[in-house]
Amino acid sequence: MTDTTSAAAEETDELTRLETEGDIAADYLEGLLDIADLDGDIDMDVEGDRAAVSIISEGTSRDLQKLVGREGEVLEALQELTRLAVHRETGERSRLMLDVSGFRARKREKLTTLGTEAAQQAKDSGEPVKLQPMTPFERKVVHDAVAAAGLRSESEGEEPQRRVVVLP
């Protein structure tokens, strides 16, 4: 087998594994929606190197907001439970990303803007810019935005007070 063929086979295997994770997560979440008597459709995708599953509503998503909670706390917990369900089935750790009613997508947009603005502030002032404590997901989005703006950033502190520092 050539290196190109081997790489293509590995990529196909990885895609299949991520799709399987998405299927397991979707089954788990559909069961949860049934138990909670909530209406929602499950959308699965593969984004980069992780499975992405979204619960969306055709009507008003007011009921689904219960699955998001205040500041996304319930969503974070639900994501961890879904990852555990995938782990139970596959025996492998999952990096699956869960979204409900577009909450994470909207949050990603805001965080990207925050990271870009903090990078500009660090460039203009020549001083490091310390941001408020964030979850790992939030920090990752900000780090990516800072890198896209051409600067470096690092995380400092201990959970739950871990924060991003943008370096000039």
Residue 54: Cβ-neighbour burial (10 angstroms; 0-12, 13-18, 19+): buried
Q: What is the pLDDT at residue 9? A: 75
Q: What is the pLDDT at residue 62? A: 77
pLDDT digits (tens, 9 = 90+) for 69-102: 998 999 999 999 999 999 999 999 999 999 999 9
Phi, psi for residue 67 in degrees, rounded to 5: -85, -10
Residue numbers in the chain where pLDDT is lower than 70: 1-4, 59-61
Residue spans of alpha helices (H) in 37-127: 73-90, 103-125
Dump the DSSP string for 106-123.
HHHHHHHHHHHHHHHHHH
Q: Of 115, 166, 124, 168, which is closest to residue 144 (Cα–Cα)?
A: 115
How far CA 124 is from CA of 34, 41, 118, 120, 129, in Å, comes to 52, 45, 10, 6, 11
Is there a contact between 129 and 166 (Cβ–Cβ < 8 Å)?
yes
**Rounded Cα distance, 95 and 83, in Å:** 7
Residue spans of alpha helices (H) in the chain: 3-36, 73-90, 103-125, 136-148
With 0.85 as the threshold, say if the pTM is over it: no
pLDDT digits (tens, 9 = 90+) for 111-120: 999 999 999 9
